[in-house]
């Protein structure tokens, strides 16, 4: 199949708009109204689905999903899941350690592969964390697979699961919303209740302490409100009630809870700065949080070292701040956070990206950070054509990178790397590397920060400062 350059589509080609967007640690995936799935950014672990380990600085169609009927895309840290609900398929690809892809093994997958267990089943929702995955079936039944060392699968033990396992503790509940953090999980039910489980040492489970939970436990303090959506950042959590109020809890070192402080909160607390704002959407990044209100206005708070808040600078915010710039006068309809980048789709079909860009995760071409919302014209209404993004699955000049040949380092709280002091920039023979989440972070010290380096298949974590 011929590979067209985006923006050079033939005259009369079919128009399309972005109807779904999701961000991984340093990659991004979009679903188009014509059914095409496009990906860009870091691709070292196959998370782009193009069959090779290359980065892509601009959107490219995933050829293996052409005409697959995909209607939902979700990114984990270094992997991706797509759902074709009408055909009863879930596809997964990317980094496979700990069984997060659900294929019964730990192998990396560079081209979308159906998860055999779900063939013929009707899927309602998918959530992806760093190394674990949750799937809700129609009817509200919850299944989990992947890494489980802190109980994030909710199965009552800490054994990894290479294949989907039913979360029996929620049997009888109709799960309506699910979310995965690095190593913790949240679920909301049809009754409006919220359950949490997994890693809880920053209070991100909302149960008033810093203990891990191996089974879903109801979050207290929300009994008088009906929760319609749950959201996880890396180590922080948020819930949105039916009336549009937002509660947050967990890690707050960078102000990512939006309470105007930098103190961890172990129980849900309403975000006071949004008390008079009806919120429609919330997205959580590594250390930042974004929200869109019912009028389409965009709000940002938390860590902003790379401009991921979209405020035009690199200053952190501990309370919600209105994002203007190129989004002034536009209504945000979709929102997604990566670790250090953010994307938004407006009601009129325009796509904007900003934040960290060194792996091409912004899709803008240049590998550089962008501190303000910038139009991703090639995917925006009026510019996007289906014919333009259909691409062969064989990338030019690419190649597979063996897991044992991948290297990066774990940073400390100040982004200085541990280990041998190297960074991706110091290893020019390797592709640019980016941060992974907790699967590569060593055991936590008393303060919860990484205090050493760990390895899995000779892969360590990342230079988070990249």
* Total residue length of the chain: 466
The distance of Cα 349 from the centroid of its chain, to the nearest Å, equals 21
The pLDDT value given to residue 96:
98
Backbone phi, psi, residue 425, to 5°? -65, -20
Q: Within the chain, which residue ranges are assigned CATH 2.130.10.30?
A: 18-389
The distance of Cα 176 from the centroid of its chain, to the nearest Å, equals 19
Mean pLDDT for 424-437 is 25
The pLDDT value given to residue 386:
60
- pLDDT per residue as tens digits for the range 249-275: 999 999 999 999 999 999 999 999 999
Instruction: Answer yes or no: is pLDDT of 459 > 60.
Output: no
The topology under which CATH files domain 18-389 is Methylamine Dehydrogenase; Chain H (2.130.10)
Mean pLDDT for 218-223 is 93
pLDDT band at 381 (very low <50, low <70, confident <90, very high): confident
The pLDDT value given to residue 10:
34
What is the distance between the alpha carbons of residues 140 and 135, in angstroms, rounded to a whole number?
Answer: 10
- pLDDT per residue as tens digits for the range 306-315: 999 999 999 9
- pLDDT per residue as tens digits for the range 32-65: 999 999 999 999 999 999 999 999 999 999 999 9
Mean pLDDT for 100-108 is 98
The pLDDT value given to residue 313:
98
Please give the biggest Cα pair distance in the chain: 61
Backbone phi, psi, residue 41, to 5°? 110, -150
Sequence-separated (6 or more) residues with CB below 8 Å from residue 149: 158, 160, 183
Backbone phi, psi, residue 335, to 5°? -150, 140
């Amino acid at each position: 199949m011929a590979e067209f350059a985006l923006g050079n589509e033939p005259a009369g080609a079919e128009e399309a708009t972005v109807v779904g967007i999701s961000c991984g640690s340093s990659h991004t995936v979009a679903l188009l109204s014509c059914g095409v799935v496009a990906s860009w950014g870091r691709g070292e672990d196959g998370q782009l689905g193009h069959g090779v380990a290359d980065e892509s600085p601009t959107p490219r169609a995933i050829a293996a999903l052409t005409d697959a009927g995909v209607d939902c895309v979700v990114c984990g840290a270094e992997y991706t899941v797509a759902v074709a609900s009408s055909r009863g398929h879930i596809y997964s690809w990317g980094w496979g350690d700990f069984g997060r892809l659900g294929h019964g093994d730990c192998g990396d997958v560079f081209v979308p592969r159906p998860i055999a267990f779900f063939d013929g089943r009707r899927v309602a929702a998918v959530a992806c964390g760093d190394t674990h995955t949750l799937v809700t079936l129609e009817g509200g039944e919850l299944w989990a697979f992947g890494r489980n060392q802190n109980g994030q699968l909710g199965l009552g033990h800490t054994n990894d699961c290479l294949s989907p396992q039913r979360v029996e503790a929620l049997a009888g509940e109709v799960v309506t919303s699910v979310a995965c953090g690095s190593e913790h999980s949240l679920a909301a039910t049809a009754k409006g209740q919220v359950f949490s489980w997994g890693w809880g040492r920053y209070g991100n489970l909302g149960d008033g302490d810093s203990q891990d939970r191996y089974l879903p436990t109801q979050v207290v303090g929300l009994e008088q409100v009906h929760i319609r959506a749950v959201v996880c950042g890396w180590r922080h959590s948020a819930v949105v009630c039916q009336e549009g109020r937002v509660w947050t809890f967990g890690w707050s070192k960078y102000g990512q809870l939006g309470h105007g402080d930098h103190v961890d909160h172990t129980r849900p607390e309403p975000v006071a700065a949004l008390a008079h704002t009806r919120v429609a959407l919330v997205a959580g990044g590594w250390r930042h949080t974004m929200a869109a209100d019912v009028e389409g206005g965009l709000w940002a708070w938390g860590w902003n070292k790379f401009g991921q808040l979209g405020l035009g600078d690199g200053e952190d915010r501990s309370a919600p701040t209105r994002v203007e710039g190129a989004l002034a006068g536009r209504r945000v309809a979709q929102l997604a956070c990566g670790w250090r980048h953010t994307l938004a789709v407006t009601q009129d079909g325009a796509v904007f990206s900003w934040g960290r860009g060194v792996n091409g995760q912004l899709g803008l071409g240049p590998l550089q950070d962008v501190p303000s919302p910038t139009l991703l014209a090639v995917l925006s209404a009026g510019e996007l054509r289906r014919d333009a993004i259909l691409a062969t699955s064989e990338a030019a000049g690419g190649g597979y990178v063996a897991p044992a040949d991948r290297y990066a380092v774990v940073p400390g709280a100040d982004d200085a790397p541990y280990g041998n002091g190297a960074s991706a920039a110091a290893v020019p023979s390797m592709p640019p590397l980016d941060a992974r989440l907790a699967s590569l972070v060593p055991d936590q010290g008393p303060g919860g920060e990484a205090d050493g380096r760990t390895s899995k298949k000779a892969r360590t974590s990342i230079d988070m400062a990249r």
